[in-house]
Amino acid sequence: MTESVHLSVVAAAYNEAENIAKLISEITVAVKPLNKTWEIVIANDGSDDDTPEMLRQSMEICPQLRVIDMKNRTGQTAALDAALRNARGTYVATLDADLQNDPAEIPRLLKLLEEDECDFVNGWRKERNDPWLRLVSTRIANGVRNWLTHEKIHDSACGLKVFKRECLANVRLFTGLHRFLPTLVKMEGYRVKELPVKHRPRTAGIAKYGVWNRIFKALRDTFAIRWMQSRIFHYECKEWKR
């Protein structure tokens, strides 16, 4: 039987050689003072830079680090899903590998779950450090997403999320749908909260998404979620006793 841990911190990484070692160090500094068992699970999504070597070096330094190596580049959703399915934590935290999410925020979000105030905490990058075009496009995308899905989530695509492991038990991710996790989890009946979190500018590496292709893909995915919402059902039943 696989041994469980209190907290799994999960990320997908593609060509983040300049960021990955610092990310692992920052996570360690953030969660070690909790004095609970923890692990870091990084899915290497077919990186063709020095990310694999940096991960190997980090494994020598950090025994809590586990690396899931994707056979081919599969995209962020699939790599994140692989890391999540291999995580052993009672609680799971996700963040982006580019250091724009601050791991120091994890304990604050985790506390809400440990005190059973909710089942899933979604980070909200209220003060974003992004170019103005991305800021405008993101605001439009979030507005359209909420309008179509009847949601009130300010920042569904924020990489920083902390949740109870069982939230994902019946959630099947398809390409792009990791950005809709708060809605997918709510559809399963779990309690979702949203909290403002820090957002840092990218200082190294290259952004993997352009503004326009993200907008059109997000719109397509939003229609998929709306269809799922219109078809989901919940029921209770029991078998007759003789």
Q: Tell me: the pLDDT tens digits for 128-175? A: 666 555 655 566 566 666 656 667 788 888 999 999 999 999 999 988
For the ranges 2-16, 54-68, 101-115, 120-134, the lowest mean pLDDT is seen at 120-134
Q: Is 179's pLDDT higher than 70? A: yes
User: Where are the domains positioned within the chain?
Assistant: 5-231
Q: Is 186's pLDDT higher than 70? A: yes
The larger pLDDT score, comparing residue 176 to residue 33, is at 33
Percent of the chain with pLDDT over 70: 85
CA of residue 18 relative to chain centroid, distance: 20
The larger pLDDT score, comparing residue 124 to residue 139, is at 124
The larger pLDDT score, comparing residue 174 to residue 83, is at 83
- Nearest Cα neighbor of 101 from 174, 180, 38, 30 is 30
Superfamily name and number for 5-231: Spore Coat Polysaccharide Biosynthesis Protein SpsA; Chain A (3.90.550.10)
